[in-house]
Amino acid sequence: MKIMKRPNILLTGTPGVGKTTLGKELAQRTGLSYVNVGDLAQEGQLYDGFDEEYQCPILDEDRVVDELEDRMGDGGMIVDYHGCDFFPERWFNIVFVLRTDNTVLYNRLESRGYAGKKLQDNIQCEIFQTIFEEAMEAYRDEIVHQLPSNDPEDLERNLEQIVQWTEQWMKDNN
């Protein structure tokens, strides 16, 4: 096991909670590398079929893990995806589950063109804390944190908190 000089961070949560906005800004402020798993899958066609019900491709999780394995071992990665239980536990030093008020989330998803079952299922996923529970089962409790993500003030607070955490991690581990 290589010793990492920079931490790996997972940003997860229901679609529409602000993972990508946070991840891109975090990468700029910390110098860590940002990977949006949805974009990575699209670029590499890392799919295993098409889901007719949700009208979207089905992620080939094994191929995604294979694609990221080398980069994750070096550290310094911010990974953004709405699922988290298929990533190896050893990859991440900390996991942030973004949470958004249902009304805010509904409007965000609706503006993205989500409708019907897809919209309802994503709202229910947030109501029932599905991603948070998935993260708690997949990773050590002490590295999983929930962050509110409703407005620009939350975004700024989250950025400051994670930047601070990252700086402290690098001091402690170098």
Instruction: Indicate the annotated binding residues.
Output: 16, 18-21, 112
| Whole-number Å distance between alpha carbons of 57 and 41 | 10
Instruction: Return the closest-CA partner of residue 11 out of 109, 131, 154.
Output: 131
Determine the length of the chain. Answer: 174
- How many whole angstroms separate alpha carbon 57 and alpha carbon 43? 13
Binding site, annotated residues for ATP: 16, 18-21, 112
CB-CB neighbours of 172 under 10 Å: 8
